[in-house]
Chains A and B, each alone.
Chain A
Amino acid sequence: MHRIAIVGAGTGGTVLANRLAEELQTEIEAGDVEVRLITADPEHVYKPMFLYVPFGKKTVEDAKRPVEELIDRRVTLSIGRVIDVDTDRKKLSFADSSVLAYDQLVLATGATLEPEAVPGLAEGGHHFYGPDGAERLRDELAEFTEGHLVLSVVGVPHMCPAAPVEFVLMVDDWLRERGLREDVDLTYTYPINRAHGLESIADWATDLFERRDIALETFFNVEEIDPDDEVIGTVEGNELEYDLLVAIPPHAGSDLVTDAGLGEDGWVDVDRNTLEATNAEDVYAVGDVADVPTSKAGSVAHYEAGVVADRLASRVRGQTPTATYDGKTVCFLEAGMSEATFIEFTYGEEPFVREPSKPLHWAKLGYNESYWLTARGLL
């Protein structure tokens, strides 16, 4: 029996398990291969949905489905928390003291939020990167009628790099719709010398910010927040007052990764094309936890999972794997509450940003619904 263990049932882990169940159907049914999906959380979460929660357009429940409803019946599901990865002995240890041996391991443990890494951020800042934060921000925004709203990108890299730009464009539009925009000042801050890591997105956003009276602060690296006086202090020695702070918190990978010697800061060092771990044999990473030079985005996890499924299936069949990941990344970007654009790029490419339109906004909303087909490995 060839045992494939996948740790993490987010987009990467779930798509991978379902693709393997399809590709290795015969081998699994013959008892020659086991595909095991391991997750501490029995619910699958589609995080891009959280962007809409602060505006009352989606609920946290819309972002969740039970993992067992999404996976192929040929996948073995284990609910449990992995606390140690031993890549020499090829064993996983669980919080309940059980141990699982594997032949091939895929880490898909994602990224976690670390607001506590910046003094005052947890107390003084809101965010929309998790269920509780998105709901609290919804309640706060509903009552916010005047003052200075600051969207600050504090941590880089972070999940869904387009989301901070989307949020500030959406909140601008949302406030206009509600007749409150004249009483609210909007500021967007970013750590480097432009509005986004990708130059084409930065140029596009900067132009829109100017047209829509959204102030842009660059080289803005948050050092601390004073929640009582509502002031942000930066590494560069500047201060910015706020009435409502929406911050993208620092992100971290998984302690499992660091403890197993697979990479620094919890991100797995991998070959960017094969997604095989640099520091261990028969270990792969997909999704946010894989340290590759592109966005930490659902589309990346999705495409990486397809590549790793092909490579693992080739290994199982004794063939030389040839599938590679070229950095393909696809993102819809909301430009307000009723228009969106769309970008697509690979490693080293600058995306072309199309003129925002209503059909692309509808396409984004449509994809949010059809995502559940992606998770099932069908789309």
Chain B
Amino acid sequence: MTETTEPDVTIDSRDATCPGPLMDLIGRVKTLEPGTVVELQTTERNSTTDVPEWLEEAGHDLLGIDERDDHWNIYVEVN
């Protein structure tokens, strides 16, 4: 995933503590069509491991993780 990727949906979970970002993602993914690309913004380092683990469990695709100056963008494709 590169910085030019345009997500269909952006979830801003910056400043939320664990498990906030993952729960924000789960809540939204339930409502989205297959093929939707989601950008999850998080300042919680644990999200970079918890989110991929959940995607594996739930059968969605991790497209990539970008580290920015003060947060991470996690890109997900809904299946």
- A residues whose Cβ falls under 8 Å from a Cβ of B: 156-157, 191-193, 197, 219, 221, 223, 235-237, 293-294, 348
Chain B residues with CB under 8 A of A294: 17
A235 to B20, CA, bound (A): 17
Given the complex of chains A and B, what is the CA–CA distance between A157 and B30 in angstroms? Answer: 17
A223 near B59: Cβ-Cβ < 8 Å: no
Residues of chain A lying within 8 A (CB to CB) of residue B66: none
Among the 9-residue stretches B2-10, B49-57, B67-75, the one with 4 or more Cβ atoms under 8 Å from chain A is B49-57
Which residues of A sit under 8 angstroms from B53, Cβ to Cβ? 193, 219
Nearest CB of B to A350, in Å? 11
CB–CB B17/A219 < 8 A: no
B58 touches A348 (CB 8 A): no
Q: Is the CB of B18 within 8 A of A236?
A: no
| B1 interface residue (CB < 8 Å to A) | no
Asked if B58 contacts A237 (CB within 8 A), the reply is yes
Q: A192-B23, A197-B18, A293-B17 are in contact. List 4 more A-B contacts (CB 8 A).
A: A157-B20, A193-B50, A219-B54, A294-B17
Residue on A nearest B56 in the bound complex, by CB = A219
Partner of B19, one of A156, A235, A236, A237: A156
Q: Does B63 contact A (CB under 8 A)?
A: no
- Residues of A with C-beta under 8 A to B18: 192, 197
Interchain residue pairs with CB less than 8 A apart (18): A156-B19, A157-B20, A191-B19, A192-B18, A192-B19, A192-B22, A197-B18, A197-B19, A219-B54, A221-B30, A221-B58, A223-B30, A235-B29, A236-B57, A293-B17, A293-B20, A294-B17, A348-B17
State whether A191 and B23 are in contact (beta carbons under 8 Å apart), knowing that A237-B59, A348-B17 are contacts in the complex: yes
Complexed CA–CA distance, A293 and B44 (Å): 12
**Which residues of B sit under 8 angstroms from A219, Cβ to Cβ?**
53-54, 57-58
Provide the residues of chain A in CB contact with B54, threshold 8 Å.
Answer: 192-193, 219
State the Cβ distance, B8 to closest chain A Cβ, in Å: 19
A-B contact count (CB 8 A): 43
Q: Which chain B positions have C-beta within 8 A of A193?
A: 50, 53-54
List the A side residues contacting B26 at CB < 8 Å: 191, 221, 235
CB distance from A165 to the nearest CB of B (A): 15
Main secondary structure of the interface of B (DSSP, over half): helix
Specify the chain A residue showing the minimal Cβ separation from B26. A221
What mask results when residues 21 to 33 of chain B are scored 1 for a CB within 8 Å of chain A, else 0? 0110010011000
Best-surrounded residue of B15, B18, B59 (most CB of chain A within 10 A): B18
Instruction: State whether A235 touches B30 (Cβ < 8 A).
Output: yes
The 8 Å CB contact of A293, one of B15, B50, B58, is B15
Bound CA span A348–B46, Å = 13
- Interface size of B in residues (CB-CB distance below 8 Å): 17
B20: chain A residues at CB < 8 Å are 157, 293
A293 CB → nearest B CB, Å:
4
Q: Which of B36-53 contact A (CB under 8 A)?
A: 50, 53
- How far apart are the CA atoms of A219 and B22 in the complex, in Å? 10
The CA of A157 and the CA of B16, in the complex, are separated in Å by 11
Residue in chain B with minimal CB distance to A347: B17
Closest to A294 in B: B17
Q: How far is the CB of B15 from chain A (nearest CB, A)?
A: 7
A236 touches B58 (CB 8 A): yes
- Bound-complex Cα distance A235 to B26 (A): 8
- Contacts A193-B53, A219-B54 given; indicate if A293 touches B16 (C-beta within 8 A): yes
Which of A192, A236, A237, A348 is in CB contact (< 8 Å) with B50?
Answer: A192
Residues on the B chain within 8 Å of A156, using CB: 19, 23
Measured between C-beta atoms, what is the minimum distance from B41 to chain A in Å?
15
Q: Which residues of the other chain, A, contact B30 by a CB distance below 8 angstroms?
A: 221, 223, 235
A197 proximity list for chain B (CB < 8 A): 17-19
> With A and B bound together, what is the CA distance between A192 and B18 in angstroms?
10
A293 to B18 alpha-carbon distance, docked (Å): 9
Alpha-carbon distance between A170 and B76 when the two chains are bound, in angstroms: 39
For A293, the chain B residues whose CB sits under 8 A away are 15-17, 20
Q: Shortest beta-carbon distance, A199 to chain B, in Å?
A: 8
Across the A-B interface, give the 5 residue pairs with the lowest CB-CB distance, nearest first. A293-B17, A192-B19, A219-B57, A236-B58, A197-B19
B66 to chain A, nearest CB (A): 22
**Complex alpha-carbon distance, A223 and B29, angstroms:** 12
Find chain A residues with CB under 8 A from B59 CB: 236-237
